[in-house]
Structure 1
Amino acid sequence: MLFSRSLTASLLCLAPLVQANPDAVIIGGQLLDVRSGKLLTNQAVLVEQQHVHSIVPLHQLTAEQQELPRIDLSGYTLLPGLIDMHVHLTANPAAHGYRRLQQTPIRQALFGVTAAAATLDAGFTTVRNLGAAGYADVELREAINAGELPGPRMRVSGPTLCMTGGHCDNNLLPHTYQARATGVANGADEIRSQVRSNMKYGADVIKFTATGGVLSRNTDVNASQYSLAEMQALVAEAHDRGAKVAAHAHGLQGIKRALQAGVDSIEHASFIDDEALALAKKQGTYLVMDIYVSDYILQEGEAAGILAESLAKERTVGQLQRQNFSKAVKAGVKLAYGTDAGVYTHGLNGRQLQYMVQWGMTPLEAIQSATLHAAELLHWRNEQGQLNVGVLEPGAFADIIAVKGDPLKQISLLQQIPVVIKGGEPVKGL
């Protein structure tokens, strides 16, 4: 009897796999396996209910599979949809500095509609939104998930946590206004409460500022924000709730404190040194280094309202960050792709890939940072524990981009992606 029940349970577990049938097929002239780096020729991606059912050589399609609705991309190279781990979809890059005071969270959410569409159109089928006022990113995510708007899959943080006067606080107005950003929290108890509040209202990742920032008024990028004890309380609370933690950190002391506190990723990491690189490597902490955005800030930022103070800070930060990115690559630290889109124009997310190659990565490593490695940091997995995004494998979402040519030889192909598919459905180029 026990054997019979066990056998029945096993068959029930296998039933979905046995009965699963693909409902469409996508043909690719080449397909990049981002795990191995191999380009596979003449592959067929079988799709079932928005997910990859299986991938087989074209000649192995059965007669029944040959009759499925198909998307023929035999002249293209297929890759997994790209992932940007640091975006601000509700931020208008034409409204920096004091101009941002004119925008309510509702207005920012409305702007996010066009930003989300542009991001998806650029081939970024998944993003991690790190910081948004009024939980505008939560609402944008929900509208996309409901099919009301086109856009990428989103993981969102809601308001960034910081200390009073920190990088995420409203430091533009004089004291008479007593302006305070939603995410401001001081001391371990307040911080734990704010983490709980963020998750109550829909955040699935927690972001905080461990140092000052380039674009905030009256903050020093080298100055730490939050003590080690405060960071430890924040990380423990978030991890208890199953959320990953991203720490905005330019300055070295803030980077080291955040690493010691156990964060999952360090954003920017501009002033990181060899000791901190070694610690990040030992702990498996990811660095998310936005090495393209400096060009935009210094070339176009003044016209977009970026403060003179911020431009001066960027002149110190930008080049050093790129040099330290090269050190991180050589040291073998985990690197995930993140661009800070929203500081610059949404939809240009792919430009950074070429910068990453210029500063030390191979084209495959750059692509892996925006697919496999970003997915591992995101930790978006299905019920079987497999990655849901960033790979073209059975069980993952059928999020696919297609380019003419070989991106391993010409990484710039990924700056303008002609074909984008999300969940097996064409969204661009078909």
Structure 2
Amino acid sequence: MKLASLLAAVAALALTAPAYAQGQPAAPAEQAEPVTVIHAGTLLAIPGQPPRREASIVIRGRRIAEVRDGYVDLPGARIVDLRDSFVLPGLIDMHVHLVGLDDRLQARLLAPTRDYEDEAYTALLNARRTLLAGFTTVRDLGAEPRTITSLRDAILAGQFAGPTIVAAGRGVSVSGGHGAPNGLNRDLTQVALGRANNVCNGADDCRRAVREQISLGADVIKFTATGGVLSNVAGGLNRQMTLEEMRAIVETARTFGRRVAAHAHGVDGVNAALEAGVDSIEHGTFTNDQSFALYRRTGAYYVPTLMAPAAALADGARGALTPFQYQKAREASDNAVQSLRRAVREGVNIAFGTDSGVSRHGDNAQEFALMVNAGMTPAAAIRAATVGAATLLGRADTIGTIQEGRDADIIAVRGDPLENVRLLENVGFVMRHGRVHKLGGERQLTDAD
């Protein structure tokens, strides 16, 4: 009786066994990665080295598989014909602010009515404009943390079209300094201070502020060593943080594996930030002999953002800035070009940055002409927006060049930008992570649109 029961149970199990145990086909293997081959008439694979003629870039999925001489075809591959174009790595802007309206006057007037959701949708549109302008990676150096990190993650997941974002969250500031709540009435000031986890006073408190930004998802830490043009306070552009506070910020960021960018205009703040060990100086408007000795000793990068003072001056002339802001814009505009001019002569490490958000998003490439007018060659300016920027980010093994194993972040223009750098203001082809977002000067819809 027991044997009969056992045999019946085995028979029942056989009838209910899963399909794969009854000779049914297993689940299909993962779909092979799509293959794209770009035929490049001229290819600047590694900015700083000579370009090559008639080359093919083979892309599998999101990465570059190989670069070959000549025009090759692979079975089943999508061919992108850029034989009449100059192909180069996707550009990198090391200083943007994606959250916020481009129009400074409208931003001031509408600020009390705009909420996080409004800013998020604006940031999404700004990101798309930036990508279509040929900038496949940006470093966002100041935004509401959750807004910018949510956008960063959504773009990285392929849900929206935009550049890869390296986010700082809010810049660390001292009370009364650039980036702290200033110029509001007492009720609004109390509300803003309650949310200002980026504001600190003293070295220990500044360590806390750094950790707060990291806990909210910051990839990089920014702090404001000096006053800023758009701070609505009567202070100037000179140093606002102590050296001890700056060192505490840098040391804490390093503990968490983060790099550090210092907003600095006044020479005293520039030099103190360099002494503290920052990775980059943003703006660097006023400099002296000590500044360049420190740049050379530390290897820090200079991100000049020449578009910002020019845009601020134009805003001030049309009444979009307060008197305090306009005064500081005039102070900064005359010195920014001179500092870059000397930095070029001194051989300082330079990375491309615009401060877009002060200037208009999508116009980022106008910075190239300003850099060239300040003494850089077109080749050096392009290298600053590719190899130099990638090195400053610590991502030179994935972006900044067109080589095997790198992300397929690739752009193209008609003509030779090594002869006329302004051609980069009209990018005709944009690929990011192997997806074509612009071809023949027209936006291409992807799964992220």
TM-score by length of 1: 0.90
Gapped regions of structure 1 (runs ≥ 5): 1-19, 381-385
The letter for the 2-side match of 1:242 is G
* 8 Å Cα contact 2:35-2:76 kept in structure 1: no
Cα gap change, 1:428 to 1:301, in 2 (>3 Å)? farther
Give the structure 2 partner of residue 77 of structure 1. Answer: 86
Q: Helix, strand or coil: the match of 1:248? A: strand
* 8 Å Cα contact 1:32-1:78 kept in structure 2: yes
Give the structure 1 partner of residue 67 of structure 2. Answer: 55
**What is the rounded CA distance, in whole Å, between the counterparts of 2:155 and 2:33 in structure 1?**
27
| Structure 1 counterpart of 2:371, from 329, 348, 356 | 356
Q: Helix, strand or coil: the match of 2:80? A: strand
**What is the rounded CA distance, in whole Å, between the counterparts of 2:206 and 2:336 in structure 1?**
29
**What is the rounded CA distance, in whole Å, between the counterparts of 1:239 and 1:84 in structure 2?**
23
Gapped regions of structure 2 (runs ≥ 5): 1-31, 441-449
* 8 Å Cα contact 1:212-1:219 kept in structure 2: no
* 8 Å Cα contact 1:167-1:212 kept in structure 2: yes
Structure (1 or 2) with the larger CA radius of gyration: 2
Segment drifting more, 344-353 vs 302-311: 302-311
Counterparts of 1:28-39 in structure 2, within 5 Å, are: 28-39=40-51
**What is the rounded CA distance, in whole Å, between the counterparts of 1:415 and 1:35 in structure 2?**
18
**What is the rounded CA distance, in whole Å, between the counterparts of 2:93 and 2:48 in structure 1?**
21
Give the structure 2 partner of residue 319 of structure 1. Answer: 334
Shift in Å, 1:390: 1.2
The letter for the 1-side match of 2:89 is P
The letter for the 1-side match of 2:397 is L
Q: Helix, strand or coil: the match of 2:101? A: coil
Q: Helix, strand or coil: the match of 1:371? A: helix
| Structure 1 counterpart of 2:282, from 267, 282, 285 | 267
Give the structure 2 partner of residue 147 of structure 1. Answer: 158
Shift in Å, 1:294: 2.2
- Does residue 416 of the first structure (1) align with residue 405 of the second (2)? no
- Does residue 232 of the first structure (1) align with residue 247 of the second (2)? yes
The letter for the 1-side match of 2:158 is G
* 8 Å Cα contact 1:297-1:311 kept in structure 2: yes
* 8 Å Cα contact 2:57-2:68 kept in structure 1: yes
Shift in Å, 1:189: 1.9
Shift in Å, 1:421: 0.9
Give the structure 2 partner of residue 129 of structure 1. Answer: 140
Counterparts of 1:16-31 in structure 2, within 5 Å, are: 23-31=35-43
| Structure 2 counterpart of 1:214, from 198, 217, 229 | 229
Counterparts of 1:289-304 in structure 2, within 5 Å, are: 289-301=304-316, 303=318
TM-score by length of 2: 0.86
Q: Helix, strand or coil: the match of 2:199? A: coil
| Structure 1 counterpart of 2:54, from 25, 28, 42 | 42
* 8 Å Cα contact 1:94-1:304 kept in structure 2: no
**What is the rounded CA distance, in whole Å, between the counterparts of 2:247 and 2:315 in structure 1?**
38
Cα gap change, 1:353 to 1:176, in 2 (>3 Å)? same
Cα gap change, 1:69 to 1:113, in 2 (>3 Å)? same
Q: Helix, strand or coil: the match of 2:437? A: strand
- Does residue 202 of the first structure (1) align with residue 211 of the second (2)? no
* 1:62-121 per-position Cα deviation (integer Å, ceiling 9, x unaligned): x7x365221111111101000000000002121457433443333222210110000001
Segment drifting more, 155-164 vs 28-37: 28-37
| Structure 1 counterpart of 2:129, from 115, 118, 125 | 118
Give the structure 2 partner of residue 397 of structure 1. Answer: 407
- Does residue 163 of the first structure (1) align with residue 181 of the second (2)? no
**What is the rounded CA distance, in whole Å, between the counterparts of 2:376 and 2:236 in structure 1?**
26
Which stretches of structure 1, 4 residues or more, deviate above 6 A after TM superposition? none
* 1:163-203 per-position Cα deviation (integer Å, ceiling 9, x unaligned): 01110012121334423233111122221122112111111
**What is the rounded CA distance, in whole Å, between the counterparts of 2:319 and 2:158 in structure 1?**
32
Cα gap change, 1:272 to 1:146, in 2 (>3 Å)? same
Identity of aligned residues (%): 39
Segment drifting more, 102-111 vs 387-396: 102-111
- How many pairs align? 403
